[in-house]
A and B are shown apart, each in its own frame.
Chain A
Amino acid sequence: MNLASRSLYRAALLVALSMVALTAGCHHKPPPPPPPPPVQAPAPARPTVTLQASPSSINKGESATLSWNSTDATELSIAPDVGAVTAQGSTKVTPSDSMTYTITATGPGGSASATATVTVNAPPPPPPPKGPSDDELFLREVRDAYFDYDKADIRPDARAALSQTADFLKRHTSIKATIEGHCDERGSTEYNLALGDRRATAVKQYLVSLGVSADRLSTVSFGKEKPFCNESNESCWQQNRRGHFLKAN
């Protein structure tokens, strides 16, 4: 320890000693005790109440059950319709429309309330006025394509028929169609199956060229196995040489 720090130590010690003497000489009187609290009866508890509806959703004409539970209430009542009730219980309600029930509990401690809602589902809307079904429209508007003997080329009259068919299919995009290829009885069974395939494919390609999506159209050849007409004359044969549309489901 050098000289300067020793004198600093001495000064600090002096200060500390004088502080102790100062405090000891400064003694106050104690304060008076607080007055005792006033004597009172305890306050009544505030009522509590719960209300539930089960089920909370019904169809018109059905019932739901309201159940409730309460504490510290002297009077309970449920509005609307039900009225005064006991401290706990349940009751059936048959609201004709969606309804929110409120239970009010009143007691010395005040009042409380709770609500529960019963939703009444509306009956299904009446069916809309009946228009033609897709099946009926399909039959009415879709036109088959007819072919020349031994040919799978689309004729001018078939072009007109297929334009109408394409219009229908483009307006009813949910409808899919099967194109059946048919032939008259004159060729062989085997040759006609191949020819019917080419006819059905030609019809499909023509519709696709008019903007009908290919995946809505399937093809099948029945050759001469499912004739529309069974006589052996040209008017009957013409009936059987066709691409025939069926609505696919």
Chain B
Amino acid sequence: MQSKLRGLSSFFVLVILAFCGRSAAAQDWFRTAIGLDANKPRLAIADFAARSEAAKSHASLFTQVVRDDLQLSGILEVPSPSFYPPQAPSIPAELKPAIWIDPPTNANFLAFGNLSESASEVAIEAWLYDVRNPSAQAVVGKVYRGAPTDLQVRKFAHQFADEIISKLSGGLPGVASTQIAFVSSRSGGAKEIWVMDYDGSNQHQLTTLRSISLTPRWSPDASRIAFTCFAPSAGLTSAQICMYSLDTGKLVSFPRFRGTNITPAWSPDGTEIIFSSSMQGNPQLYVSDINGGRPKRLTSANGASMSPSWNPKTGQTVAFVSDRAGTPQLYLMNSDGTSETKLDLPDKGYVIDPAWAPNGQLLAFSWRRPNDNYDIYIMDAATRQLVELTRDQGRNERPSWAPDGRHLVFESTRGGTRQIWTMLADGSQPHQLTTTGHNESPNWSPR
């Protein structure tokens, strides 16, 4: 009893610390959990040299995208280019490490290289050197060749950035080549599923159902996107599960069920989905194969259950939302529907949008506390420790983790309209990805 009380009180101390700003004690476990070390190496990216006039614009695009990617990675400090020495190397033989180590650049690493371009091809040589250990081999040395288009140059820049991030983070790849699915009503008012690069570039529309499409979820192999749709059939409209194939660019058939069918979530092995359906009465969670076959009911409490998130690491636990206790709250259960437990939070309010981190330990969600707006929180599922990631900046909802576990994408009204933003998993570096129309319900692709 005594030790139980002590444990409980230390839990509340931690919670309180977490809410009282970014106290070191509360943040240590958390920064470790999300891999955001306080001591970040400084990495400078020299301007990539253009070998010809034709290569100039792509050289500066490549340089900028690599800088943005490394800045967004969260694991590196990128010194401002205005501090850089005037001469940038274009090949290793031109590298003078000392001038990059000196203040104000203070670099640990330097990325540099060159581009040449013809009408049919761009060729990029790119290196990363440890300037404090100049005798060593290049940390990264790559040659990229492809079509001389902005899109291709961006892709190469993302690949180079991911190489660097992987090398410097002990093998955990970056997310510069990943994508984000989301919902946009920018074209004609209908809500369609869109996809963009992780940095907000290359935004394009996937569906043209001209109705209401919601809650896109990537399959673990990124070949499909399951979502909630309102496609009418035989004169009847209702919310149904839809399945889009990125291989064919078309919808894959999925059976219609009675009632309201929403919020599909993939099992980590990609063979099953859990979704909410009122096919037998109140909205409950069902599991089926990915073609909608053999739906099996998992929950049976009063009220409605929805918004499942399947633990991607263990495959054992499903987090979801239910209003069985009056207002929407978070619950956990085993993926076979057994052992439902409520996740109690320090005070009431709405708790919605659970999203497991790739490590299967942290749960991001949105919480509207009494007399407050929706904000993004993260909970350690084992210790129930909490960290608040957003505050006093409009309505912040629907977090989704990047596959590196260091980034989250979410929707926010902080700029006046509902838009998609990313941030590091400690709430820092908020970055707006969309600006046109209303955009919501982002979901980060797997690798």
Taking the closest CB of chain A, its distance from the CB of B404, in whole angstroms, is 26
| Contact present for B352 and A221 (CB under 8 Å) | no
Contact B304 A195 (CB under 8 A): yes
| A194 & B352 in contact (Cβ 8 Å cutoff) | no
Q: Which of B263, B282, B283 has the most CB of A within 10 A?
A: B283
Residues of chain A contacted by B341 (CB below 8 angstroms): none
Interface residues of A: mostly helix, strand, loop or mixed? mixed
Which of A188, A197, A218, A249 contacts B278 (CB under 8 A)? A197
Inter-chain contact A190/B321, CB cutoff 8 Å: yes
Q: How far is the CA of A37 from the CA of B66 in the complex (A)?
A: 137
Q: Are B276 and A188 in contact (CB under 8 A)?
A: no
Q: Is B105 an interface residue (CB 8 A)?
A: no
- Those of A175-198 within 8 Å (CB) of chain B: 187-191, 193-198
* Secondary structure class of chain B's binding surface, majority of residues: strand
Contacts of B323 in A (CB 8 A): 150, 191, 194-195
Distance of B139 from chain A, by nearest CB (Å): 44
The verdict on B117 contacting chain A, using a C-beta distance below 8 Å, is no
Q: Is A141 an interface residue (CB 8 A)?
A: no
Closest-CB distance, A12 to chain B (whole angstroms): 105
Q: How far is the CB of A88 from chain B (nearest CB, A)?
A: 61
- Closest chain A residue, CB of each to CB of B305: A194
B185 nearest CB across to chain A (Å): 10
- Residues in A with CB closer than 8 Å to B228 are 193
> Does chain B have a CB within 8 A of A165?
no
Which of A188, A225, A226 gathers the greatest number of chain B CB atoms within 10 Å?
A: A188
Which B residues lie within 8 Å of A104 (CB)? Answer: none
A219 to B212, CA, bound (A): 17
Which residue of chain A is the closest to B326 with respect to CB atoms?
A150
Q: How far is the CA of A90 from the CA of B303 in the complex (A)?
A: 83
A175 to chain B, nearest CB (A): 15
Using an 8 Å CB-CB cutoff, how does the interface string of A202-235 with B read, 1 for contact, 0 for none?
0000000000000000111110011000000000
State whether B307 touches A188 (Cβ < 8 A): yes
Q: Judge if A70 is at the interface, Cβ distance under 8 Å.
A: no
Q: Mark B210-241, 1 if CB is under 8 A from A, else 0.
A: 00101100000000000010100001111100
Partner of B260, one of A221, A226, A249: A221
Instruction: Tell me, rounded to whole Å, the shortest Cβ–Cβ distance linking A171 to chain B.
Output: 24
Q: Check if A198 sits within 8 Å of B304, measured CB to CB.
A: yes
Provide the residues of chain A in CB contact with B281, threshold 8 Å: 201
Residue of A nearest to B237 (CB): A220
Nearest to B374 among chain A residues (CB) is: A188
Q: Smallest CB-CB separation from A150: which chain B residue?
A: B327
Bound Cα distance from A110 to B283, whole angstroms? 92
Report how many residues on chain A are interfacial, defined by Cβ distance under 8 Å. 22
B397 contacts across to A, CB distance below 8 A: 188
Among B230, B237, B283, B326, point to the contact of A197 (Cβ < 8 A). B283
Name the residue in B328, B352, B440 with the highest tally of chain A Cβ atoms < 10 Å from its Cβ. Answer: B328
Q: How far is the CA of A193 from the CA of B275 in the complex (A)?
A: 13
Shortest CB-to-CB span from A30 to chain B, Å, is: 103
Beta-carbon contact of A191 and B259 below 8 Å: no
CB distance from B130 to the nearest CB of A (A): 47
In the bound complex, what is the Cα–Cα distance between A196 and B328 (angstroms)?
A: 14
By a CB distance below 8 angstroms, the chain A residues around B163 are none
| Interface pair A194/B260, CB less than 8 Å apart | yes
- In the bound assembly, the distance between CA atoms of A226 and B306 in angstroms comes to 20
**Docked complex Cα distance between A188 and B353 (Å):** 8
B144 at the interface (CB under 8 A from A): no
Q: Is the CB of A188 within 8 A of B304?
A: no
Which B residues between 186 and 210 are near A, CB-CB below 8 angstroms?
A: 191
Rounded to whole angstroms, the CA-CA distance of A150 and B352 in the bound complex is: 14
CB of B276 within 8 A of CB of A194, answer yes
The minimal Cβ–Cβ distance linking B411 to chain A, given in whole angstroms, is 10
Q: Are A197 and B441 in touch, CB under 8 angstroms?
A: no
Give Cα A41 to B303, complex, Å. 111
Enumerate chain B residues within 8 angstroms of A194, measured Cβ to Cβ. 260, 262, 276, 278, 283, 304-306, 323
Quote the shortest CB–CB distance from A150 to chain B (angstroms).
Answer: 6
Which residue of chain B has its CB nearest to the CB of A221? B260
In the complex, A188→B441 CA distance in Å? Answer: 10
15 interchain pairs, CB-CB under 8 A: A150-B327, A188-B350, A188-B352, A190-B262, A190-B263, A190-B307, A190-B321, A191-B307, A194-B283, A194-B305, A197-B304, A198-B283, A198-B304, A218-B236, A221-B260
Beyond contacts A190-B276, A194-B260, A201-B259: 17 other A-B pairs, Cβ-Cβ < 8 A, are A150-B326, A150-B327, A187-B352, A188-B353, A189-B214, A189-B441, A190-B306, A191-B321, A191-B328, A193-B260, A193-B306, A194-B278, A195-B323, A196-B260, A219-B259, A220-B260, A225-B214
